Structure 1
Amino acid sequence: MRKVSLGRSGLEVSRLGFGCMGLAEFYGDALSNNEAEQLLESALERGVNFFDTADMYGSGRNEEQLSGFVKKHRDEAVIATKFAIQRGEDGAWLGLSNDPKYIKEACNASLKRLGVDVIDLYYMHRRDRDVPVEDSVGAMAELVKEGKVRALGLSEVSVETLKQANDVHPIAALQSEYSIVTREMEAEVIPTCRELGVAFVAYSPLGRGLLTGAFRSEKDFVGNDYRLQANPRFADGALEKNLPLVDRLAAIAKEKDASLAQIALAWVLAKGDDIIPIPGTKKLSRLSENLGALDVTLSADDLKAIEEAVPVDEVAGHRYPETTSSTLNA
């Protein structure tokens, strides 16, 4: 597994990371701590060292799921977690906070759940517009000085917020959604990251499973899966409208002797070593499939064909419901 620099942080991360959110919530039933640990162990054995979680995934449960694994492999694993989205123990959504006092409390709580002394990469999960970003990043910078955090990150922020934050303390990574069906970040965000020397971490590089080909109707979803309930690209008939795009991409994958997911991930990987996709899964077979994308080489003609097969203006549904879209590009 080749490693790349995480911005200018000094951290080296695997070319493909692992998004841990689905282990605890959102995509059907959660894994047990033991099941999650076995999957993470397998990822590490295959060279993945970059693991992404957040305090709101499972209302803290996801961080706890990682704790046993992290304790065993603290010197090998690069752990990213996040603060800002507040939830109750029952899962209730309580709002956003970037308040400096809250940031320090959230960090201490994450350290305890993870069972570590320092967080490698600490993200502001969402921007709270009521708090000056300079105050929030200033509080995050104090955590670096205290030795509780190694590097700072932001998620789903505008280029203006990124620049303001980077003036306070170097930002190692900006995380936002990016895939062949979600490409808004190409206009300004990714170029600004490159200008500032900030790594771009791409979450949902498989379009929340849309680009795996595994979901073709409601019956393909198992358990309490939020996609059918609240994701505009799957709910209310949008999935069926998006299937022709998936099928076009599948035809290209067949020509390249690769799976649909591998072509989708290879496309993201081909966009530059400073773009680090973090697909997630709960299955060992899917982990192996995702890692196979590292062996897929795409030419300039291949990239053009992929982008012509999946025009972004033909994708049905926004990437988030209207109720939460105000927190994006903040």
Structure 2
Amino acid sequence: MIGTRRLGELEVGAQGLGCMGMSQAYGVRDDDSESIATIHRALELGVTLLDTANVYGAGANEELVGRAIAGRRDQVVLATKFGIFHDDEGQKVRGDAAYVRRSAEESLRRLGVDHIDLYYQHRVDPDVPVEETWGALSELVTEGKVRYLGISEASADTIRRAHAVHPVTALQSEWSLWTRGIEDEVVPTCRELGVGIVPFSPLGRGFLTGRITTVDELPADDMRRNLPRFAEGNIDRNLRIVEALRELAAEKGVTAGQLALAWVQHQGADVVPIPGTKRRAYLEENVAAATLDLSGEDIARIGSAVPVDAVAGERYPAALARNVGK
């Protein structure tokens, strides 16, 4: 069993589980039975924070998580999100009050629950003041439909503005050895305000495990085929990062992925990463990283092996990057 950590006033297992890949993004959706078994195993291991969103699988992921936690609701800290949708033109963002309320009601129905423990604004709508969005979210808390509020991929200024309307319990943003953009301004702001930090993709969308060496190995519909860091030229340079991690991991008898995940776990007691998987074997490997003890010297060596400027390629293509960090 792993220990617990606090996101603001919310106590959760020291590591969470990202459920997105069970329904979209990383290849063909498999038989849901293994995904549900993975969620059940996570709860057995002390992983309580389950993370989904209304946009994952166009609602299918929330329905899957809802089926998995039926009869186990008291073991779960249930997190979901609103704010991203897709139309014929691609990804869009909404944050108006009417949309907030409708999205919450629809998520409650799909999840089969009467309240959401942690409700995130998935992306900030540049055309709607964050104060309007958070005013609507605060009403949901007052009504008991939501317990705590979070925000995802937001700037330090936006976090402050949201927090002035209603306390922000958690920030969810990408944070890993190869994505460190939140460290200069966002992380210090969160710590000043008492906001917990929930890193998604702490394994670099699986790349830092070393299991991906070419995009040809990925399914045809895998989103990573369209990410710059996996593009020809960039991927070869980034594989050097994995090799450096492998060398350090071998000294401790762990995998490169476990070492990379442990590095994130060691960024603070207010940090609860949510590595995603739909396989029990990978879940157990990830959870083991939560108990790996790293010294200050270990952390420094890992950081030196993967310097910030060593990563080749941007996080997202331009169409997806435009709504990040608002």
Q: TM-score over 0.5 for the alignment?
A: yes
Aligned twin of 2:90 = 93
- How far has the Cα of 1:93 moved from its partner? 3.5
Matched residue SS, 2:126: coil
Moved more, 305-314 or 28-37: 28-37
Deviation at 1:162, TM superposition (A): 0.4
For 1:197-242, what per-residue CA distance to the aligned partner results, in whole angstroms no more than 9, with x for missing partners? 00010000000011000001233223521101x1111123321121
The answer to whether the 8 A contact 2:148-2:169 is kept is yes
Pick from 145, 155, 174 the counterpart of residue 177 of structure 1.
174
Q: Which residue of 2 aligns with 1:154?
A: 151
Partner of 1:5: 6
| Residue 307 in structure 1 maps to residue 303 in structure 2 | yes
Contiguous gaps of at least 5 residues in structure 1: none
Tell me how far 1:111 sits from its aligned partner.
Answer: 0.5
| Segments of 4+ moved more than 2 angstroms | 31-35, 91-94
Structure 2: where are the runs of 5+ without partners? none
CA distance in 2, matches of 1:70, 1:226: 27
Matched, 1:200 2:201: no
Q: Distance in 2 between matches of 1:68 and 1:92?
A: 32
Query: CA deviation digits over 1:149-181, x for unaligned, max 9?
Result: 000000001111000100100110000000011
TM-score, L = length of structure 1: 0.96
Q: Supply the AA of the counterpart residue of 2:286.
A: N
Counting only pairs closer than 5 Å after superposition, residues 116-195 of structure 1 correspond to structure 2 as 116-195=113-192
After superposition, the CA RMSD in angstroms is 1.3
> Partner residue of 2:233?
237
**Would the aligned equivalents of 1:214 and 1:220 in 2 still touch at CA under 8 Å?**
no
For these two proteins, the number of residue pairs brought into alignment is 325
Any idea what SS the aligned residue of 1:75 has?
helix
From 243, 259, 263, give the equivalent of 2:259: 263
Structure 1 position 39, deviation (Å): 1.1
Alpha-carbon offset, residue 37 of structure 1? 1.1
Alpha-carbon distance in structure 2 between the residues aligned to 1:264 and 1:83:
29
The residue that corresponds to 1:254 in the other structure is 250
Cα pair 2:18 2:51 within 8 Å, conserved: yes
Aligned equivalent of 1:64: 63
What do residues 123-163 of structure 1 show as CA deviations (whole Å, max 9, x unaligned)? 00000011011110000000001111000000001111000
Report matched runs for 1:288-303 at 5 Å: 288-303=284-299
TM-score, normalised to structure 2, is 0.97
Shift of 1:183: 0.7
Contact 2:248–2:302 (Cα < 8 Å) also in 1: yes
Output the CA distance in 2 between the equivalents of 1:326 and 1:87.
14
**8 Å CA contact 2:229, 2:313 repeated in 1:** yes
Identity among equivalent positions (%) equals 47
Map of 2:20 onto structure 1: 21
Q: Distance in 1 between matches of 2:102 and 2:91?
A: 16
Contact 1:258 1:296 in 2 (8 A): no
Q: How far apart are residue 46 of structure 1 and its match?
A: 1.1
| Contact 2:37–2:280 (8 Å) recurs in 1 | no
